[in-house]
Amino acid sequence: MSTEVGISLTVNGERVSRRVEARRHLIDFLRLDLGLMGSHAGCEHGVCGACTVRVNGLIVRGCLVLAASLDGDTVETIEGASDSGEIRDLQDAFVARNACQCGYCTPGMLLTAAELLRENAEAGSVPSRDAIREHLSGNYCRCTGYHAIVDAVEAVAKARTASSGAGKP
Amino acid sequence: MKAGSFRYERAYTLAEVFRLRREVDGDAQFLAGGQSLLASLAFRLSEPNLIIDISRIPELKGISVLPDAYLRVGALTTHRELAAHPDVRRHAPLLAEAVPLIAHAAIRNRGTIGGSLAFADAAAELPACCVALGARIIAAGPGGERTIPAASFFTGLFATAMAEDELIRAVEFPCAAPGDRGTIVELTRRSGDYAMAGLAVWAQHAASGAQTPRLVYFGVGTGPVAAAEAARALGPAPWTAQKVKAAQALLDRDLDPPADQHGGPEMKRHLARVLLARAVGKLGAEPGARAA
């Protein structure tokens, strides 16, 4: 019996069809089959958050998703979010505040923070530092640079609110 | 940390699930959100021959209010959907309060209520909430459906009353009546980690007045543990400091916590007492999970 599965999905806006081993998780699929090295495999059992990517618009742990189960789905990685310019301000803030040290956790941190910022923008609110810490609590930074990361996310939350407020009549 | 080799089949109907399950040579596992299953595959704690993906079966989806005043939650409802759904917030507010305590956003986006209950981790929040709320679990198998009360569903460590070829179709919660209230508290090393100890409380309010609450602990046994003696000592609200103290003392009779990586039985007993006071404090100080 075959342990391979045929899948077709959209990755960063491009249609992709591949045969994958059933046991292959999404991060290995992205890195090894598609050559998208921005998503990082850390603990590979759902604890560290380094492998955070989006499936159908929501962040997930890439190591806790089988590639085989994603037929017809939409995946976005840090490469896609970078190229679209969607998180440009967040990336700039990470650089400005030295919030990426070794960089291993950074793609996961960025996509996790982006979801919090989007949800708050939809609700018309600015997340508190506690809320930012809580939302990022599933993402480890082994350089332990959490303070700078929270600073960067908070700065972007405030800046986006200010600019959206300024644009209102 | 790579899973062993297995076959994968996607089912689109329950009938297909049971056919695949019947024909498999060896072990099969059902894949819903996969948020516990994939970790156990990575550790090779689970080494099935076949993964049956049930995540696209319409019969396992949806949230509705039933004519007999139960809130029916489809097994594939994600934690994210559970917390956001207006019917859940209104009729089973304890569930909405519990969701932010479950793991982290990325896991809540994919993990399901059915998966959580079927996996039956002793430290998980939703099993305890189901027992506290007096839920009924609708299990589907090749022979049809049956209803299992939450109180008798969890039979031990990672064990449930379901047979190997059964799965959870839905979970049904009695709709909260006006005045019913509850809360959930837990202690974790890192926010979102499995609890060292936790407590779900649900107190109903009948025509005769406030009722004795259900106290259901998690992370202190082999599954959800109802603390009946402590609950009796606590009695109906209002809960005075004296009653809380009496209930705390009786927890030793209700709980027999095994040691785990967090600590020994004495530490767990201590945490259980702390949680009781915190839960009562929370219910006193704020509305908590109050029914609309």
Nearest to A23 among B5, B80, B104 (CB): B5
Cα A62 to chain center, whole Å? 10
The confidence score (pLDDT) of residue B285 equals 63
Contact A43 B192 (CB under 8 A): no
Task: Locate B288 and state its tokens.
Answer: 């908590």
What's the pLDDT tens digit per position in B35-90? 999 999 999 999 999 999 999 999 999 999 999 999 999 999 999 999 999 999 99
Higher pLDDT, B244 or B292: B244
Q: Report residue B3 as tokens.
A: 């899973």
For residue B291, what pLDDT is reported? 64
Separation CA B48–CA B30 (nearest Å):
10
Inter-chain touch A60–B106, beta carbons under 8 Å: yes
How large is the angle between the packed helices A146-166 and A106-123, nearest 10 degrees?
30
Indicate whether B290 pLDDT > 80.
no
Which residues, numbered 147 to 206 in chain B, qualify as contacts with chain A under a Cβ-Cβ cut-off of 8 Å? 190-192
Q: What whole-number distance in Å separates Cα of residue A165 and Cα of residue A14?
A: 34
CA distance A78 to A94: 14
Higher pLDDT, B286 or A129: A129
C-alpha to C-alpha distances, A144 to A54, A74, A139, B143, nearest whole angstrom: 24, 32, 11, 54
Residue B31 CB contacts under 8 Å (≥ 6 apart), including other chains: A66, A69, B37, B51, B52, B53, B54, B55
Residues of chain A with pLDDT under 70: 1, 165-169
Which of chain B's residues have a Cβ under 8 Å away from the Cβ of A58? 80, 109-110
How high is the mean pLDDT of chain B? 96
Per residue in B175-227, pLDDT (tens digit) is: 999 999 999 999 999 899 889 999 999 999 988 899 999 999 999 999 999 99
B39: nearest CA partner in chain A: A45
Please report the pLDDT score of residue A163 as a whole number: 87
CB B75 within 8 A of CB B55: no
pLDDT at site B143: 96
Q: Quote the CA–CA distance of A41 and A44 in Å, as a whole number.
A: 6
* pLDDT of res. A167: 42
Entry pTM: 0.95
Q: Return the DSSP state at B74.
A: E
List, in sequence order, every beta strand (DSSP E) within chain B: 7-10, 28-31, 50-53, 63-65, 70-74, 136-141, 144-149, 154-156, 159-160, 167-174, 181-187, 197-203, 205-206, 209-210, 214-218, 225-226, 289-290
What lies within 8 Å, CB to CB, of A103 at 6+ separation is none
Euclidean distance between CA atoms A71 and A49, whole angstroms: 23
Cβ–Cβ below 8 Å for B5 and A22:
yes
Pairing assessment for the beta strands A4-11 and A74-76 based on DSSP bridges: parallel
> Residue B269 is encoded by which pair of tokens?
């007993």
Position B131 confidence tier, pLDDT thresholds 50, 70, 90: very high
- Domains in chain A, please, with CATH? 4-81 (3.10.20.30), 85-163 (1.10.150.120)
- Residue from the list B1, B53, B107 with its beta carbon closest to the beta carbon of A69: B53
Q: At residue A89, what is the residue type?
A: D
What are the tokens at A143? 């350089």
Q: How far is CA A84 from the centre of its chain?
A: 14
The two beta strands, B209-210 and B205-206, are: antiparallel
Alpha helices in chain A (DSSP H): 26-28, 78-83, 88-96, 106-123, 129-135, 146-166
Q: Who's near B242: CB < 8 A, 6+ residues apart?
A: none
